[in-house]
Amino acid sequence: MRPVRLMKVFVTRRIPPEGRAALAQAADCEVEQWDSDEPIPRKELERGVAGAHGLLCLLSDCVDKKLLDTAGANLKVISTMSVGFDHLAMDEIKKRGIRVGYTPDVLTDATAELAVSLLLTTCRRLPEAIAEVKNGGWSSWKPLWLCGYGLTQSTVGIIGLGRIGQAIARRLKPFGVQKFLYTGRQPRPQEAEEFQAEFVSTQELAAKSDFVVVTCSLTPATKLLCNKDFFQKMKKTAVFVNISRGDVVNQDDLYEALATGQIAAAGLDVTTPEPLPTDHPLLTLKNCVILPHIGSATHGTRNTMSLLAANNLLAGLRGEPMPKELKL
Ligand code: GLV
pLDDT of 304 reads 98
Best residue among 56, 81, 82, 163 to mutate for probing ligand 1, ranked by most atoms within 8 Å of CB: 82
Q: For residue 4, is pLDDT > 60?
A: no
Cα–ligand 1 centroid distance for 243 (angstroms): 9
Indicate the helix (H) or strand (E) that contains 152: none
Q: Find residue 20's DSSP bridge partners.
A: none
Q: For residue 17, is pLDDT > 90?
A: yes
Among 59, 56, 3, smallest CA distance to 31 is for: 56
Residues in the chain: 328
DSSP state of 325: B
* Average pLDDT of every residue of the chain: 96
Would the CB of 257 count as within 6 Å of ligand 1?
Answer: no
pLDDT of 2 reads 55
Cα–ligand 1 centroid distance for 165 (angstroms): 14
pLDDT in tens, 110-125: 999 999 999 999 999 9
State if pTM tops 0.85.
yes
pLDDT of 303 reads 98
Contact assessment for residue 81 and residue 20, using Cβ atoms and an 8 Å cutoff: no
pLDDT of 281 reads 98
Would the CB of 323 count as within 6 Å of ligand 1?
Answer: no
DSSP state of 247: G
pLDDT in tens, 190-230: 776 788 899 999 999 999 999 999 999 999 999 999 999 99
pLDDT in tens, 228-256: 999 999 999 999 999 999 999 999 999 99
End-to-end CA distance of the chain: 36
pLDDT in tens, 68-101: 999 999 999 999 999 999 999 999 999 999 999 9
Q: Whose CA is nearest to atom 2 of ligand 1?
A: 84
Catalytic residues: 293
Would the CB of 59 count as within 6 Å of ligand 1?
Answer: yes
Atom index in ligand 1 nearest the CA of residue 245 equals 2
- What's the rounded Cα separation, in Å, for the pair 148 and 126? 9
Would the CB of 57 count as within 6 Å of ligand 1?
Answer: no
pLDDT of 247 reads 98
pLDDT in tens, 130-160: 999 999 999 999 999 999 999 999 999 999 9
pLDDT in tens, 23-68: 999 999 999 999 999 999 999 999 999 999 999 999 999 999 999 9
- What's the rounded Cα separation, in Å, for the pair 120 and 35? 36
| Widest CA span in the chain | 76
